[in-house]
Structure 1
Amino acid sequence: MLPVILFLLTCMSTFWVGVTKWNPFGPIEQLAGAFLQDESFVAESMMNLRLLILENWDSGLIYMTAVLLILFVHEMGHFVGTLIYKVPASLPFFLPFPLNPIGTLGAVIGMQGYIADRKQIFDIGIAGPIAGLVVAVPIAWFGVAQLDLTTQPYGGIGFRLPLVMQWFAESSQVPGYSAGKVVWLNQLNPLFVAGWVGMLITGLNMMPVGQLDGGHVTYTLFGKTAHVIARLTLVFAIAFMVYHQSFMLVIMVVLLLLVGTDHPPTRDDRVALGPVRWTLGVTSLVIPILCFPPLIFKLN
C-alpha cells in the first residue's frame, strides 16, 4: 500500500512543479502572504492558483509522465533482475518532494542483497541505470532540441547542463547556446527538465559509493578495493563542495554519508563476471562524468 501512496504523491508533486514552471515556491508564498492579510486576498490568490493550473496543466502532465516514466523504468530494471534471480525485493518507493524545482528525490527499492552472489548483484545493480538511460536519453534529446536560449532569461534558478546534454545542445544547434551556458526557468520545457532529472539521478546513482548502483558495480568489479574508491569519491565530493561553496552539493554529500561508503560482501564474491560484464561494468563508470552536472543549479 505504501508504494502506491508514495507513487500517487509523487505524481502530484511532479505535476505541481510542472504547472508552476519549476518554481513551486512562488504560488505558495503568494498564498501564505494572502492568509496573513484578509479573506479577499485569499480568494484572489486561490483564483490565481486555479488559473495557473488551467493555463499550465499540459506542462505539468507532460513533465509528470516523462519523469515518472524514467524513474519507473530505472527501478523496473532492478526489480526484474531481482525476479530473475529470485532475490526478495520490495516494489519501488517513489519519493515526492513538492518544494524543490524537480518535484521528486527519485525512487528506491529494498532488496535482500545478501542472498545474491557477485554476478547477480552486478546484473541487478547495472540493470536500473541502463534501463533508465534507454528512456532518459531520447527524452533529454527532444527536450534539448526544443530549447530557445535567445529569449531574455529570468528566474532565480538556472539549470546547468551535464556533458551529454551539452553535446545534444551543440549537435541540435540550439539557438543562443554556447559552452557553459545555463538554462533559466523561463527557458525550460517539460521534456528538457524530465531528461535533465533522469540524467541527474542516474549520474548520482552511479557514484561508486556504498549500495548505490555504482557501488554495486565497483564492488563486483574490484572487491574490497571498492571501499577505497568510495572513500576517495566522498573526500573529493566534500573538497569540491567546499571549494565551490555549493549548497546543492551539501545535499549530495549528506546522501553519500547516509548511504555509507562500504559495500557489504555478496553471498559468493568468487563467482566470475566474465569479459562481457567486466567491459560493461568498467564502461559504466563514466556515467557520473557524462550525466551528473557537478554544480547542478546556478542561483541568481
Structure 2
Amino acid sequence: LETLLRSPRSPRLRLQGLLYLLTCLTTFAAGAAGWQPLVMGLDDIAPAIAAHWPRGLAYAAAVMAVLSAHEAGHFIAARLHGIPATLPFFIPVPVLLTGTLGAVIGMEGARANRRQLFDIAVAGPLAGLVLAVPLLAVGLLAGGPDGDNPFAMPPLARWVQGLVRPDLPATAAVPPNALFMAGWVGLLVTGLNMLPLSQLDGGHICRAVFGRAGNWVARGVLLSAIAAVVIAGRYNWVVMLVLVTLMGVDHPPINDDGRPLGRIRTALGLATLLIPILTFMPEPLRLD
C-alpha cells in the first residue's frame, strides 16, 4: 500500500473520488435490492430501486459512515504522528450482498515506530465500532419479531441483541433492515481486519505488541486457520486465506527504535485482539 503514496496526487484524488461515488452507488443498490448474494441485471435492479430506494439510501449512508469512520481513524492518527498517509480508497463490488469490501489507505509504515504503528492501527477499528455497534443496536430495535434472517449473528451481535431486545429468545433472528445490515457489515469488516496477520490492522497491532515475535504469532494463527478450515470443511474461507498468504504473513519492517510500547497500549492491544473472536462468523451467510 505504500506504493499508493508515490502515485501522482491529482490522478490519485480523482480515483479516490470515483471509487467513493461508485461505492455509494453499489451500497445503495445493495440496500435497495435487499442484500442479495448475486449480480443483478438492470431489468431486475431497476424495479427494486423504484420500490425500496429509501432503504437503499439509509443503508448506503449508514455503511459508508462506518467505513469512513474506520478510515478516518487511521488517517487522523497517521497525520498526528507525522506519518504520510493517503485518503481512503473505497472498494465497490457489483455483488448486491454488501455492495462493498471496505476501504484501504496507503501509509509509509516503515517510518513508524511501535507506538505510532499501534496508535494508527487501533484507531481505525475502534472508530468504526463506535458507529457500527449503535447502528446494529438501533437496527435490532427497529426490527420486527423473530423472523427469517440469513445473516449470521456473531457473539458481539448476540450480546447486543440480548441487551436491546430482551423480548426475543437468545437464538431469535430479526429480519434484516438498513441499520442492522450497516452495523453487521461493520462488525464483519472490523473482525476480518483485526486478524493478527500481515498488514491487516490486527497484524499491525500484533507487531506493535509482540515486536518481531509477532511474526511467529501470525504464522501460528494462519496455520491454525488453515487447519480449522480443513477440519470443519469451511471452504468459504479459502479465498481469504489465499489473499492473506499472497499479502505475506510476516509484517514488513518498521522503525523499531527500541522504545517499549507501554502498559496501557499493551493492555489495549491484547484486548483488541479479541475482536476477531467476538465478531467471527464461521458462515456469515446461509444460502440454503
Normalised by the length of structure 2, the TM-score is 0.89
* 1:209 lines up with 2:205 in the alignment: no
Q: Identify the residue that residue 19 of structure 1 maps to in structure 2.
A: 32
SS in 2 for 1:223: helix
How far 1:118 moved relative to its partner?
A: 1.2
Counterpart residue identity of residue 9, structure 1:
L
* 1:286 lines up with 2:236 in the alignment: no
How far 1:271 moved relative to its partner?
A: 1.4
| Conserved? CA contact 1:209–1:262, under 8 Å | yes
1:32-65 C-alpha deviation (Å, 9 max, x unpaired): xxxxxxxxxxxxxx4x644321210011001001
SS in 1 for 2:91: strand
| Conserved? CA contact 2:40–2:96, under 8 Å | no
SS in 2 for 1:95: strand
Cα distance between partner residues in 1 of 2:198 and 2:257: 16
How far 1:225 moved relative to its partner?
A: 1.5
- The gaps in structure 2 that reach 5 residues or longer are 1-13
Cα distance between partner residues in 1 of 2:236 and 2:56: 24
CA RMSD of aligned residues (A): 1.9
Would the alpha carbon gap of residues 254 and 288 (structure 1) be closer, same or farther in structure 2, given more than 3 Å must change?
Answer: same
1:105-138 C-alpha deviation (Å, 9 max, x unpaired): 1100011111111111111111111111111110
Cα distance between partner residues in 2 of 1:289 and 1:212: 16
| Conserved? CA contact 1:10–1:94, under 8 Å | yes
Q: Identify the residue that residue 82 of structure 2 maps to in structure 1.
A: 86
Q: Identify the residue that residue 142 of structure 2 maps to in structure 1.
A: 146
Counterpart residue identity of residue 49, structure 2:
I
SS in 2 for 1:106: strand
* 1:8 lines up with 2:17 in the alignment: no
| Conserved? CA contact 2:118–2:205, under 8 Å | yes
| Conserved? CA contact 1:147–1:175, under 8 Å | no
SS in 1 for 2:95: coil
Q: Identify the residue that residue 194 of structure 1 maps to in structure 2.
A: 182
SS in 2 for 1:94: strand
Equivalent residue pairs, number = 275
- Residue identity over aligned pairs, in percent, reads 43
| Conserved? CA contact 1:94–1:108, under 8 Å | yes
How far 1:188 moved relative to its partner?
A: 1.0
Which contiguous aligned blocks of 4+ residues in structure 1 show a shift greater than 4 angstroms?
A: 174-177
Counterpart residue identity of residue 240, structure 1:
A
How far 1:24 moved relative to its partner?
A: 6.0
Cα distance between partner residues in 2 of 1:56 and 1:299: 23
| Conserved? CA contact 1:137–1:195, under 8 Å | yes
How far 1:246 moved relative to its partner?
A: 2.8
Would the alpha carbon gap of residues 93 and 192 (structure 1) be closer, same or farther in structure 2, given more than 3 Å must change?
Answer: same
SS in 2 for 1:209: coil
SS in 2 for 1:88: coil
Q: Identify the residue that residue 162 of structure 1 maps to in structure 2.
A: 154
Cα distance between partner residues in 2 of 1:107 and 1:275: 31
* 1:59 lines up with 2:55 in the alignment: yes
| Conserved? CA contact 1:145–1:174, under 8 Å | no
1:225-270 C-alpha deviation (Å, 9 max, x unpaired): 1111111111122222223333431232123213321112321241
1:191-242 C-alpha deviation (Å, 9 max, x unpaired): 1111010001111111000111111111111112111111111112222222
SS in 2 for 1:105: strand
Moved more, 49-58 or 161-170: 49-58
How far 1:69 moved relative to its partner?
A: 0.4
| Conserved? CA contact 1:14–1:98, under 8 Å | no
Cα distance between partner residues in 1 of 2:180 and 2:140: 6
Q: Identify the residue that residue 178 of structure 1 maps to in structure 2.
A: 170
How far 1:292 moved relative to its partner?
A: 2.4
Q: Identify the residue that residue 136 of structure 1 maps to in structure 2.
A: 132
* 1:114 lines up with 2:110 in the alignment: yes
Counterpart residue identity of residue 6, structure 1:
L
SS in 1 for 2:186: helix
* 1:94-105 equivalence runs, <5 A: 94-105=90-101
Moved more, 168-177 or 130-139: 168-177
| Conserved? CA contact 2:140–2:165, under 8 Å | no
* 1:22-61 equivalence runs, <5 A: 22-23=35-36, 25=38, 27-28=40-41, 46=43, 49-61=45-57
| Conserved? CA contact 1:203–1:292, under 8 Å | yes
Counterpart residue identity of residue 89, structure 2:
F
